[in-house]
Structure 1
């Protein structure tokens, strides 16, 4: 699977002689909601689902996380901020088209089926969604500016009412908040890049000795650990792997990680 989808904040999109441009954000801060978030808009958004993370829980209902910036190993709940991005895509995406992709994948990891009965496309679709969301989390998405558009002049409360109803809006100066552009672009990319992974067949690998590490994202590496002992990988059959083979796989996970990797217990995870 290869899909170059990382957003480029400095990009200028030409359309009808430059009627649309992309404006880089001045900083990485997310746009906060009205106090107490009365419309219950999603703020903390998981690029890899909380449910999938919870399947690695220890007896304390947490996982161990290696923070690459500090080199520290910490224990975190699935709702910890490290696992989330802040309002990177809009409410329509969060509660709309992303949900059935997540639910179909959860069915596959909650009830492991035989290779022939497995919903391979559900796994592939989620793998692609995870990659796209992680790319946008890392990529500092930019606001879109529509030239020649005056904007709606809405209050913040009116804007949030619209977003809670899965609608978008244009602000003064023709500005469209980056999360709306990201939500739409992720949806477009899911369709555009689907042909690259729609035929994947996912084998189940089982670690006989040791446990799997999970990276925060895998890029074009079609691999998804689903429990301390099990992982899906594209292109192979169901099989058991040795401790040495597991160490090589975990080495790949560590090399793919951008901000962190996690496991049930990191000391149980051999790394080549």
Structure 2
């Protein structure tokens, strides 16, 4: 386990800095300068950051197939849905949209787990693997092919198996759950590095998609409850377009008590 640097110059253009939360989603929260305000929990300070900042990334924790294959497919479907919602074409999260939202939420949460815990290399019994040069290994990975080295497979290749597994389990566990498009009447939303067990998907400073909540417009106090939830679930950082525009409040208003009760 651990970061494996590509060859000098990265000739096969393998993705090294892998976004946990997509760049396009982060950019929707950026200000006119293309930056978000990010609070680093370890340093207890606010910094301005672009979506390319390494804080938003894992460092080659999952393989190229997971990044550019299944991951990109899930992201693209979600971003198309968000564009449609923001343009006013999609007004409800129906059966089709529900799958897109849940797959994206599962991917986000899974990537966050990979970044925090890594993926251990694993030995395949009875398989020694071929003797491959570094260049040959990178060519294979670029073509979404797995390989072994002395019978040991790099842990990042297990990522795609976990992504599918977690995603299918999440779908099954939430088969009857409904999602709503939720807007901030006052204030703006905070984005955590992950919402963990709370099924909330950030869309823009004024919009989130929330499980077990109908389409609605929230008061300032209700926005503050979601923001407090974001802060409480954050492990390394949280961000917003402008943190000063984001109210924070610990006591749940009645309409949100069922969803956010501990």
* 2:187 alignment counterpart: 210
* 1:46 alignment counterpart: 19
SS of residue in 1 equivalent to 2:37: strand
Q: Is the 8 A contact 1:124 1:200 kept in 2?
A: no
Q: How far did residue 198 of structure 1 move? A: 4.1
- Which of the numbers 79, 87, 96 marks the counterpart of 2:52? 79
* 1:92 alignment counterpart: 65
* 1:102 alignment counterpart: 75
SS of residue in 2 equivalent to 1:131: helix
2-structure distance, mates of 1:110, 1:45: 22
* 2:260 alignment counterpart: none
- Which of the numbers 105, 117, 130 marks the counterpart of 1:152? 130
Unmatched segments (≥5 aa) in structure 1:
1-24
Q: How far did residue 187 of structure 1 move? A: 2.2
- Residue correspondence of structure 1 range 76-225 to structure 2 within 5 A: 76-112=49-85, 113-115=90-92, 119-172=97-150, 174-225=151-202
* 2:203 alignment counterpart: 226
Query: How large is the Cα RMSD of the aligned pairs?
Result: 1.4
Q: How far did residue 75 of structure 1 move? A: 0.8
Q: Deviations over 1:225-246 (max 9, x none)?
A: 2111111101121111111111
2-structure distance, mates of 1:68, 1:116: 33
Alpha carbons of 1:193 and 1:232: their partners in 2 closer, same or farther (altered >3 Å)? closer
Q: Deviations over 1:139-197 (max 9, x none)?
A: 1221111233222111111100100111010101x111111012322223222332123
Q: How far did residue 116 of structure 1 move? A: 6.0
1-structure distance, mates of 2:22, 2:64: 16
Q: Is the 8 A contact 1:121 1:199 kept in 2?
A: no
2-structure distance, mates of 1:245, 1:256: 17
SS of residue in 1 equivalent to 2:140: helix
SS of residue in 2 equivalent to 1:89: coil
2:42 matches 1:65? no
Q: Deviations over 1:8-55 (max 9, x none)?
A: xxxxxxxxxxxxxxxxx3xxx410000000000011111111101110
Q: Is the 8 A contact 2:179 2:212 kept in 1?
A: yes
1-structure distance, mates of 2:166, 2:229: 25
